[in-house]
Structure 1
Amino acid sequence: MTDNLTLNMNAYLPLRDVVFNTLREAILKGELKPGERLMELQLAAKLGVSRTPIREAIRMLEQEGLAVTIPRKGAEVARMTEKDMEDVLEIREALDELAAKIACTRMTEDQLKQLEMIKETFVESTRSHDVKRIAEADVSFHDVIYEATGNPKLVSMLNNLREQIYRYRVEYLKEEKNYPTLIGEHEAIVEALYARNQDEVVRAMHTHIENQASAVKEIIREQE
């Protein structure tokens, strides 16, 4: 277990959520490795908390697919597999294409301008070498499209799915060679939305998700 694990305190969050965010970030950064055991006593001692928030945080990690409990062994950091990635991105592809198609007809001029601004923010973030910041900018780009659907049920489904794909998004964004492709894909999506071209925006979103899936597959294979 990494010696650099320290509690990321936030006075406005319950301790359970603080522990969860700390462990989540450590997993996404690779400080806690796939297959590494999440031992309650050891984590509690390292973070200076009781076992209760550790146990609750591990349950939350399991809901995101970042941890798994093995019978007679305990909890450990979940391993990334091609099957899990394909299952998640298969759903994401369908929902993102649907969201883009609906947004194409409902997006306001103000939302289009907001999307244009966030697209530029993403470009700037890629120069920061801060994967967390880049991931947040990418999430924000898609969030504008989701909200533009005006369909709260769809937005809720996409938000729940977002937590499950975050790990794959981070792995993808660790590779700087992917940034030019991503920037071009965002540009194609924005152009199709401005043109109100549903076929084109669905095609652009499909390419966007497919390229990510292919890249993450290679990353997973290299780690096996």
Structure 2
Amino acid sequence: MSKNPLRNVAYDYLYNSIVTSKLLPGQPIVEQEISDMLGISRTPVREALKQLTAEWLVKYIPGRGTFVEEIYKSDVEEIFELREMFEDAALKSAIYEITDEEIDKMMQNLESLNCKKSSEEFYNCDRALHNLIMKYGHNRRMLYFYNSTTSQLERLRRVSAMTPNRLQASTKEHLEILSAIKERNLYKATEKLNIHLNNVKKSIFSICEQMNLNYKGMI
């Protein structure tokens, strides 16, 4: 992230608006409107948009302007294909290196989640588990490419959560993954991980199809 504070203000506002669907897929983004609302010049807004374009959250169409990137089925397929490939590979070493203490703490955090807690707490737990697996993969290049999808994953994580009871189901799936890791059962942990990723992917497709006017890239 840039050390330019105004650019960061613009980036944070736009990033959060996109991943939380306050700005919907296909919605135009007008530099002047954003700069007026934030009380800053257009330059940091333009810089923030360049970064978001690199992260595949916005797109610039010559002669038309800048828009929130749509969610295409092919993009979701590609992202989850990469996730499965990277996380399965990382799990081969992570399953023997993640400590019982780390597992117990993560399971405790997951078990403490309930309907009264914010969805952000769930997102934090979800992110922590998958990042922990990747951390113990000990492959810097794989981690680099995995991290390049972070912004898109944050957006899709929240789309998936729109599915009724998806947060509760994901919490159960996470606990099953952690239990298998604690048993040091690679086959079982890989199976549970892939079932979880496939369920999340299916929930994203379901929500996008229901919202096809806003997620028209899914049609």
Q: How would you bin the TM-score normalised by the shorter chain? A: 0.7 to 0.9
Q: Deviations over 1:11-61 (max 9, x none)?
A: x87221221111111112222122111111111111111111101111111
Name the SS of the counterpart of 2:165 in structure 1: helix
1:191 matches 2:179? yes
Q: Does the 8 A contact of 1:115 with 1:144 survive in 2?
A: no
Q: Deviations over 1:92-120 (max 9, x none)?
A: 1111111122211333x3xx322331233
TM-score (norm 1): 0.85
Counterpart residue type for residue 213 of structure 1: K
Corresponding residue to 1:41 among 22, 28, 32: 32
**Runs of 5+ in structure 2 lacking a partner?**
213-219
- The 5-angstrom pairing of residues 65-76 of structure 1 reads 65-76=56-67
Partners of 1:129 and 1:65 in 2: how far apart? Answer: 30
Counterpart residue type for residue 103 of structure 1: A
For these two proteins, the number of residue pairs brought into alignment is: 210
Dislocated runs of 4+, deviation >6 Å = none
* Cα gap change, 1:124 to 1:174, in 2 (>3 Å): farther
- The 5-angstrom pairing of residues 125-164 of structure 1 reads 125-164=113-152
C-alpha RMSD over aligned residues: 1.9
Of 208-217 and 162-171, more deviation after overlay is shown by 162-171
Q: Does the 8 A contact of 1:32 with 1:77 survive in 2?
A: yes
Corresponding residue to 2:109 among 121, 124, 143: 121
Name the SS of the counterpart of 1:33 in structure 2: coil
Q: Tell me by how many angstroms 1:69 deviates.
A: 0.8
Partners of 1:219 and 1:120 in 2: how far apart? Answer: 30
Name the SS of the counterpart of 1:138 in structure 2: helix
Partners of 2:152 and 2:63 in 1: how far apart? Answer: 26
Q: Tell me by how many angstroms 1:129 deviates.
A: 4.9
* Cα gap change, 1:167 to 1:42, in 2 (>3 Å): same
| Identity percentage of aligned residues | 24
Name the SS of the counterpart of 2:138 in structure 1: coil
Counterpart residue type for residue 57 of structure 1: A
1:216 matches 2:207? no
Q: 2:192 maps to what in 1?
A: 204
1:100 matches 2:91? yes
Partners of 2:4 and 2:109 in 1: how far apart? Answer: 28
Partners of 1:67 and 1:83 in 2: how far apart? Answer: 17
Q: Tell me by how many angstroms 1:128 deviates.
A: 4.2
TM-score (norm 2): 0.87
Partners of 2:4 and 2:143 in 1: how far apart? Answer: 24
Partners of 1:129 and 1:84 in 2: how far apart? Answer: 31
Query: Larger relative contact order (C-alpha < 8 A, sep ≥ 6)?
Result: 2
1:61 matches 2:52? yes
Counterpart residue type for residue 204 of structure 1: K
Q: Does the 8 A contact of 2:163 with 2:207 survive in 1?
A: no
**Runs of 5+ in structure 1 lacking a partner?**
1-11
